[in-house]
Amino acid sequence: MNFKNIKEFLIEKLIFLCGFLSIVIVILIFVFLAKEGFSLFKTVKLPDFLLGKNWYPISEPPQFGILPLILGSLFVTLGAALIAVPIGVASAVYIAEMASPRIKEVLKGGIEILAAIPSVVLGFIGMVTLVPFLKKYLDLPTGLTAFAGSIMLAFMAMPTIVSIAEDALTAVPKKYKEAALALGATRWQATWRVVLRAASSGIVAAIMLGIGRVIGETMAVMMITGN
């Protein structure tokens, strides 16, 4: 076995070891969380935990009902998705198919910058601007609502959706659109019926990643919704 083969063998084993360790670490994290979490069910019944309406872990006696937490997360996530998905995909279509190269460069760079802003910064901005705005103009007793959380989370998810969806649209071979135009389709028909369908898998991935960020946000939601 020469030096080149030895080097390839070592690199292959090193990559395998790194992948194996990554999987083991994730499994150990789940085992630790399960071990520590399941001890709760020694004192709380599972139906009370899933269907309970009160979450007071430090009261006497403590109450651990997570139903309001689950429903609140679902409502905020659904609201954010309803706002972010259509606007994000439409923005990606504009950047990829309609914007001039200069405008595309500016918008693409701006979106990448927005995606890098920490969630706590966006949460603070939403708390001092969006929350008072909704309280004043919607005549609410407080602006700390699920609607405010949905708007801010949609703003956080849109850069991810726009960036990845735009990459998927740009990756579609130009010959697809050119063939549609040659057959008499309008520019919009070629974009809607050909380009979007060809990039559908990438767009779905963009939407899933955007929703994944929405689900994973905690600090911004607490700052804007008040809970």
List, for residues 121-149, the tens digit of each pLDDT value: 888 888 888 888 888 877 777 777 888 88
Sign of CA dihedral 119, 124, 127, 129: negative
Q: How confident is the model at residue 3 (pLDDT cuts 50, 70, 90)?
A: low
Q: What is the pLDDT of residue 21?
A: 94
Q: What is the pLDDT of residue 221?
A: 76
Nearest to 162 by CA among 225, 213, 126, 125: 213
Percent of the chain topping pLDDT 70: 97
Q: What is the pLDDT of residue 172?
A: 85
Alpha-helical segments (H) within 99-173: 101-115, 119-125, 131-137, 146-170
Task: Give every CB contact of residue 168 below 8 A, 6+ residues apart in sequence.
Answer: 92, 199, 201, 202, 203, 205, 206
Q: What is the pLDDT of residue 90?
A: 92
For residue range 26-80, what is the model confidence (pLDDT) as tens digits? 999 999 988 877 877 777 787 877 887 777 777 777 778 888 888 888 888 898 9
For residue range 140-174, what is the model confidence (pLDDT) as tens digits? 777 778 888 888 889 888 999 999 999 898 888 88
Position 103 pLDDT exceeds 70: yes
Q: How confident is the model at residue 2 (pLDDT cuts 50, 70, 90)?
A: low
For residue range 8-30, what is the model confidence (pLDDT) as tens digits? 888 888 999 999 999 999 999 99
Q: Note whether 155 and 168 are within 8 A (CB).
A: no
Cα–Cα distance, 212 to 215 (Å, whole number): 5
Q: Note whether 152 and 123 are within 8 A (CB).
A: yes
